[in-house]
Every structure is written in structure tokens, then in C-alpha cells.
Amino acid sequence: MSLLSIKNANVIYKVKDTEIHAVNDVSFEVEQQDSVGIVGESGSGKSTLAMMILRLLPKDTSVTEGEIEFDDRELLKMTEEEFDKLRWTELAAVFQKSMNALSPVHRIGHQMMNIYKVHCPNVSKLETKKRVLELFRMVNLPERVFHLYQHELSGGMMQRVSIALSLMFNPKLIIMDEATTALDVITESQILEEIMKLQKELKLTRLMITHDMSIVANTCRKVAVMYAGCLLEYGLVTDVIASPRHPYTIGLLKSFPNFKGERAEIYSMDGNLPDLSRLPEGCVFAPRCPYAQKKCFTCPPQTVTYENGRQVMCHFEGGNNGIQY
């Protein structure tokens, strides 16, 4: 059974007279205890999608459409009060730039206790502190962090604080938005190891947003490839990486250096992201697609679903028209 099911999600940012289509008709499902990585370049709408699920988009400048079903409840239709009860207890997040994840002028322990009290106001101070220290142990942080300030910790330690904070109420779903991007590779891989261990122990479901395909390959079971607000390809990591079906995924995979093999020049895609305030008539990727045909510029492609829940949004997917990738 799926825990999170997103159907035709759209986010439009309204800035003065222009409408920016940041997320366009994205639909996919996330199974219970699954791990899904969302990859894409900057501006592809992956963070906006995360903020949409968390209902943290600015209300005055953004419009959301579609359905987000979470644990049999419709998130976008809930009242603010109903959703507040869900926040952090079932739906938690680790945000980018964890060096600024907490207030710089308050002690870390104090802030964590304050957040705990939001949902458990009647628990004693001692119990609350116990819980916070327990969380520190889970992410391998020393107890003294409780009395420290944010600037007294390293980037890796603050990352662990953020993760500890997100685990506070054993949430069902954790969204990690570029959670390890700012770290060095060694700390990053340590923390990713720990995250996967914790996910197993706590039976979490994880949505991981990153622009690093290798992180997704190593830590997620499924991958969603986003481009210009559209979900171009979705499926099991093993399927997608072994045989990418969308030209963009092919390009993306080619643009990472091969660890073994010979040192070839890394592939880089020509062109830029399209202007999201004026979406093209046809496929969003057509202007940069090396295989684009006339049809691609005039008619938007449909998303086709295949085995293992794999989705591809391309006119010529799978060589239907004899195109060799």
C-alpha cells in the first residue's frame, strides 16, 4: 500500500504579472518504508515539490493544485489546524543548509525541547530532556550538544542535530531536502550510512531530494527524475540506471564521471532550463533533446507507465519510433 500518493500536482508562483510554473502535473506514489530519491538540476522544482507536501509554500505568492494523499488523508484539503497536528509527528523534514536549521542565539537543547512541547505539551521537562538526549544517541552525538549553540558545532554535527530533530516523533515520512549537500564526501557517506540504518530500525519512509545521482544510486530504492517542474522518469533505481529511457536521464547519467573505466571527458548538456513562466507547447525538454522530432515541439508527451511502476514522459520512449538512444 502506498503511504504517499501525489496526483497531478501543480505549483504556480505568482510574481507580479508573471506566473511561474514550478511544478507541472507531477504524479507518483511512494510505498510504505520505501526510499525515493528526487534528482534534477537547480530550478527543476524538486524543493518546491517538497515544500508543497509540507505545505510550507508562501500562501500569498503561490497556488497549488492537485491531490496529495498521505496515509489515506488528503493533505491539501486539510485545515491549518488539522495539518498542524500532522506536522513533525507524521511528516518531518531535514532541510538544506542545516548550519542554519536552528536559531543561532538559543541553545540547541532548549530549542529541541520547545519543539517537543509543541506536540506533547504535558510531558515533564525531565522526560522531554531524556527524549532529546536519546535522539542525540541515535545519531551519534555527545550529550554536551544539548547545552551548546549552533555556531559551536561543525557542519556534520549540525546535520546530525537536524536529523535527530526530524526523528523526534518517529514520523512516517521524512523528506530530506539536499540534506547532505554541504558536507564533505566522507562525512556525507557516514551520515548516509546512519540514515539508512535508522530507516530500517524506525521503519521510516524517506523522500530524498538531491542533485547528486550517485547518492540516489547508493541510498534509494526508487528514483524520480525532474526537469523544469516535470517528472520525466520514475522507477526503481536498478531499472533506471541500468537502462534509462528518457533522453534527459541518459544525459544526466552520462554527465557523472565513471569511477572505474577510462577517464573520458564528462558529457555536458547544451542549453539551459526553459523559462518556466512560458512553458513550451510541446515537451519541456525538446529544445535540448538530441533526439527531438517535429512532434516533440508541438505536442506535449503523455506519461506512460510500464513494469515495476516505471513511468516515462516521452513521445519516443522505448524506441517506439525506431530511435536509438
Partner 1 sequence: MKRFLLKRILSGVLIIFISLLICFVLIHAAPGNPVTILAGHDNPSPEMIESLTEKYGLDKPLPMQFVNYLGTLLKGDLGYSIVSDKPVVTLIAEKIFPTLLLALTGVILAVVIGTMLGIYAARKKGSRFDVAVNSISYVFDSTPGFWLGLMMILLFASTFKLFPTAGMVDLRAGYTGSAKVLDILHHLFLPLLTVTLIQIPRFFRIARSSVIQIMSEDFITTFRAAGMKESQIFRDYVFKNAILPTVTLFGISLAYVLGGIVIVEIVFAWPGMGRLLMDAIMKRDYPLLMGIYLTLSVSISVTMLLVDIVYAAIDPRIRYE
Q: Summarize as ranges the residues that interact with partner 1 (CB under 8 A).
A: 54, 56, 84-89, 92-93, 95-97, 100-107, 111, 114-115, 118-119, 149, 151, 162, 165
Between vectors from CA 180 to CA 24 and to CA 270, what angle results, nearest 5°? 50
3-class DSSP state of 15: strand
The nearest distance, CB 292 to partner 1, in angstroms, is 38
> CA-CA distances (angstroms) from residue 215 to 185, 191, 223, 253?
10, 12, 11, 13
Asked whether the beta carbons of 160 and 138 are under 8 A apart, the reply is no
Q: How far is the CB of 240 from partner 1 (least distance, A)?
A: 29
Smallest distance from partner 1 to CB 15, Å: 13
Nearest approach, Cβ of 194 to partner 1 (angstroms)?
A: 20
Q: Which CB, 77 or 106, lies closer to partner 1?
A: 106
Do residues 258 and 264 lie in contact, with contact meaning Cβ atoms separated by under 8 Å?
yes
| DSSP string covering 150-211 | GGGS-HHHHHHHHHHHHTTT--SEEEEESTTTTS-HHHHHHHHHHHHHHHHHHT-EEEEEES
Give me 215's grid cell.
547518492
Name the residue nearer to partner 1 (CB basis): 119 or 221.
119
Min CB(288)–partner 1 separation in Å: 32
Amino acid at position 59, single letter: K
- Burial readout 83-97 (b: 16 or more C-beta within 10 A, e: otherwise): beebbbbbbbbbbbe
Q: Which is nearer to partner 1, 118 or 266 (CB)?
A: 118
Q: Which amino acid is at 225?
A: V
> Residues with Cβ < 8 Å from 124, sequence gap 6 or more?
none
Nearer to partner 1, 111 or 205 (CB): 111
Instruction: Write out the three cell numbers for 136.
Output: 542525540
Least Cβ distance, residue 132 to partner 1 (angstroms): 13
Q: Within a 10 A sphere around the Cβ of 233, how many other Cβ atoms?
A: 27
Quote the least distance from Cβ 76 to partner 1, whole Å.
16
CB 76 within 8 A of CB 8: no
> Residue 168 Cβ, how far from partner 1 at the closest point, in Å?
8
Looking at the Cβ atoms of 92 and 240, the one nearer to partner 1 is 92
Q: Which is nearer to partner 1, 107 or 211 (CB)?
A: 107
User: Which C-beta is closer to partner 1: that of 60 or that of 265?
Assistant: 60
For residues 114 and 298, which CB has a smaller minimum distance to partner 1 in the complex? 114
